[in-house]
Every structure is written in structure tokens, then in C-alpha cells.
Structure 1
Amino acid sequence: MLKSGSTLDVRYEGDGIAVVTLNRPDRLNAVSPEMHHELQELFDAIDADIDTNVVVLTGAGRGFCSGGDTKTMAGRHAKKDEPLRVYSRGRHLISGMLSVEKPLIAMVNGPAAGLGATIALFCDVVFMSDAATIGDRHVNVGLVAGDGGAVAWPLLVGPLRAKELLMTGRMLSAAEAVELGLVNRQIAADALESETLSLAREIAAQPPYAVRATKAAINRYVSAVNSQVLDASLAWERISMRTEDHQEALRARAEKRPGVYQGI
């Protein structure tokens, strides 16, 4: 069985359905290093779990996932003594999601931003509450949209719209996201869980190998784009983490003022 952790809560709904809840509600389920590690372990474990045919991902409290934890970001990104890595940890998380054979359904109950949006959009189906919003706000904190945003958004909405949305960091309503083809469906908040679980049961009732191989076949297309884009975007994101503009964006965010950027 899949196991709960310090930042993830797992429950089983029967019919082969597991619901995994990102569980840092006090931080809108922002991804801490601990959550990043537990998510990677989760995606590695799903296909080996004989009790699970479909996994639903959602967030505790009023948010789905607000992305990287900006409260600790300044200190983590300013460190100069960490050993250099050829490949980012983010690469393994995204590649792990793409490698999961069993269907993943995102039940977006509240804001999904940055890495949170990426986690939702790399699922196989995305249902959004009518009270939820979604967007990639990397640029708003002086970072390159490197953790999968540069892969997922152009595939779903096309390069022109993706560039507009990623270069502004604008958050979209559920209605806008559906209209653009970014997500599958907008659902009233009080019906989100029941409708999402209904779809999960419909998928879980199908012949498992046919479902998983169909998903794997489509993900070959996504993986082909991912192999061309992800490493470069992560490397550029890593460079942006070391810029003064990134630190200034974080200071401005904390002080609730406009940033003053120098391009350095």
C-alpha cells in the first residue's frame, strides 16, 4: 500500500482508488524539500501498489499547491556551498510523474501555482473547482519557468498563449483554464470530490492494461517534448536562482512592494 508521510496523506476509497493529499495547509501546500522527496517516492511506488488502479491528487485546506515555498526560498537559493549537480532534482520529479503507468487525476480544489500548476498539469486528467485558480508565477519571483512549465503549457495551450501566460505569471480562473484547453473540466466546489471520484471509478473499472498502455502511448509524445525542453529550462532556472533580481523579487514579495530589477 502507498504510505502517508510528513507532508502527504494517503487514503483508499475502494475500487482501486487512492487519494493523495498534499498536506501543508498552513503554507497552501507549498512544496518543501520534504514534500519534494515524498512526492518522488510516491511516483516511484504507485505502479508497484497492487491495491491501486487510479490515483487522485489534491490539496489540504483551501489550496491545491502554491508551488515552491517562498518563505525558505531566499536562504536555500543563496547557498554557495552546495555541490554542483548535473541534473536537477526537479528533473527526477517530472520524469517520475511521466513514468507512472497508472492514471493520475488532479483534483484542483484551490490555487495551483508554479510547481503546483506543473504537478496538476502533468496528471492525466485535471478537474478544477470553480473557486480554484491556476498559473505559473516563476517570473514573478525572478525565476525561469523551468520545473516543467515550459513543457506542459505549450503542449496544452500552444506556444503563443504559453509565452504570454508564462512571461506574465497571470493566474487563470477555472473557466479560463477550461476555455484554453489547459484543464478538462470546471466543477462546482461542493461537487468536485464526488465528480472526480466518479471519473476515477469509471477509469478503474476498465481493463487495467488497456488503460495503462493507452496512457503510456500518449505519454511518449509528452516525453519526447520533455526530453528536448526540461533539462535546458531547469538549467536556466538554476542560473536565475543565483541572480540579484531573484533575491529582490523575494524581498519585494515579503515587503509587499513592487520589485526594482536590474537584469542581474
Structure 2
Amino acid sequence: MNYEDFQYIRFDRHADGVLQCTLNRPEVMNATNARLHWELTQLWAVADADPHTKVIVVTGAGDRAFSAGGDLAWVEEMIGNAEAVAVVMKEASDIVYNMLGCRKPIVTAINGTAVGAGLAVALLADVSIMAETARITDGHVKLGVAAGDHAAIVWPILCGMAKAKYYLMTADFIDGKDAERIGLVSFCTPQAEVLPRALAVAAKLARGSQTAIQATKKSLNNWMRLAGPIFDNALAMEMLGFLGADAREGLDATRGKRAPDFPSARLPG
């Protein structure tokens, strides 16, 4: 696969081998559809194999969002559909493990809302810069499925188990200041400074010893690899949820912009 084969990721080259990758569906807040979700599995190997790229910077097009979760029409295709769930499960796993396997440093400029697969990319980066006013949520439990995706492999490492459990079980939103305070992101900055700060960090990494930086990244990523079985289980639990009644209610509630009435939350009788 070549850069020109990507439909929803735009590429810009900066000095010193910094490659800027922009999630590019601004009309829907860079939400992931089936194609973009698949492209996020492919990006890391393509950039990793590029001899002209030393550091990868990922951001979202526009001022509103990094990536605002999955398209609801795409999510609906998964509900009750075991074949569709199997495809998405493999891709979700590939996003996580392909990011961990990418030798080159990944820096994210979280310029706005980040949910779902977009949040996975945002938080699995080696360095994450988030706008003070940006908001993130794992969001899965509001849809009636388990917090699978990336959350179980990295949130407890980043912010500790107490905070991870609270935010993953409630799906409360977190702004940039709180995300930095609890350790979910490396730094938060004013909105206008997010991308420049990310590019400055990337340029600093690009000027360093690439062998040393890549070896350090590989070693540190082994903490997350140790949690691989935990992630695999969480992802399987998430996908199983798409085959149940709560996911249908979660999707209908999201579309209707109302509080969900999950079947599993109703008392007997």
C-alpha cells in the first residue's frame, strides 16, 4: 500500500523526516467509517517502511475533532451481525498491535473530540499533545458494549486502575487539563498550540539517535505487550456485546440523543 492509496488520511511532509498524517473526514468530525478504520490498520506499516519518515504525527482535520468515534450507520451494521463483528474485531486488534509494532515514534496532536478508534490512536501514541478544550471519552459502555478497543491495554498504565475503572465504566468525558492531570496524555496546551507543539516534539525526536529512540520505544511498549491477553479478552467482550440487546438500545439512544434504557439495567418483575 502507498500513501496515495489512502482515501481518508492526508499526508504532509515536514523537515527532518516528520510525516504529518491528518484524519480527513471533517464533515463528520473525522468519524471512522469502515474504510478509515481499515486504513488505521495499514498506516503504521506503510510509514514504518518509508525511509524518508523518522517520526509520525497524527491529527484531525478541522478545529472540532481528532476523530469523533464510529459512524452510526457503520456501527449499526455490526449489531447482531457476527460476520461484521469478526471483521471489526480483527481490525481493532490490528490497530493496537500495529501501533505497538511500529518502530518509529508516533506523536498525536489531539485537536478536538476523540472517541472510539480515534481515541485508541490518540492514546497509544508515544507522545500525546491535547488541546485544553478538547474532550475525550472511551464511550463504549454508553453504547451498551464493554470497553474493548485499546482501553484495557493502556489506561491502567497511563492513569492508574482507580481512574481507569471510573472513566471506563461511566464513559464520562475528560477535557485536556484533566487528561494531563491524571496522566492520560503527555501535555495539554491551548488549541492553537496543539499541532505546533506536536510538530516541535516530533522534530526533536527526529534529530535524535534513531536507533536509541526506537530501542527505547520498543522496550517501553513491552509493558503494554504484557497486557496483551487482557486486551484480547476486553476486545472479545466488546464484540460479544454487539450481538446483544443493550447495543441496539445504546445505538437508538445515541441517535435519539436521549438517555438509554438498557435491558440489562431493568429490575426483574
Offset at 1:72? 2.6
Offset at 1:140? 0.6
Q: Select which of 56, 62, 65 maps to 1:63.
A: 65
| 2:171 corresponding residue in structure 1 | 169
Counterparts in 2 of 1:126 and 1:78: CA distance versus 1, 3 Å: same
- Taking the TM superposition and a 5 Å limit, the aligned residue runs for 1:152-231 are 152-225=154-227, 227-231=228-232
Greater helix proportion: 2
Find runs of 4+ consecutive structure 1 residues off by over 3 angstroms.
80-85
2:78 touches 2:85 (CA, 8 Å); kept in 1?
no
Letter in 1 for 2:107: I
Looking at structure 2, the residues matched to 90 and 141 of structure 1 have their Cα atoms a distance apart, in angstroms, of 17
Could you report, residue by residue, the CA deviation over 1:8-61 in whole angstroms, capped at 9, with x for unpaired residues? 111101210000001111221111110122121111112210110000000011
Structure 2 gap segments, 5+ residues each: none
RMSD: 1.9
My pick for the range that moved more, 106-115 or 62-71, is 62-71
My pick for the range that moved more, 176-185 or 254-263, is 254-263
The answer to whether the aligner puts 1:10 opposite 2:11 as a matched pair is yes
TM-score (norm. length: structure 2): 0.92
1:106 touches 1:127 (CA, 8 Å); kept in 2?
yes
Quick one: percent identity of the two aligned structures?
32
Letter in 2 for 1:40: T
My pick for the range that moved more, 174-183 or 129-138, is 129-138
Aligned length: 263
| 1:240 corresponding residue in structure 2 | 241
Letter in 1 for 2:258: R
| 1:27 corresponding residue in structure 2 | 28
1:2 touches 1:10 (CA, 8 Å); kept in 2?
no
TM-score (norm. length: structure 1): 0.94
Looking at structure 1, the residues matched to 152 and 20 of structure 2 have their Cα atoms a distance apart, in angstroms, of 27
- Taking the TM superposition and a 5 Å limit, the aligned residue runs for 1:239-258 are 239-258=240-259
Could you report, residue by residue, the CA deviation over 1:187-206 in whole angstroms, capped at 9, with x for unpaired residues? 11112222211111111000
Looking at structure 1, the residues matched to 123 and 82 of structure 2 have their Cα atoms a distance apart, in angstroms, of 32
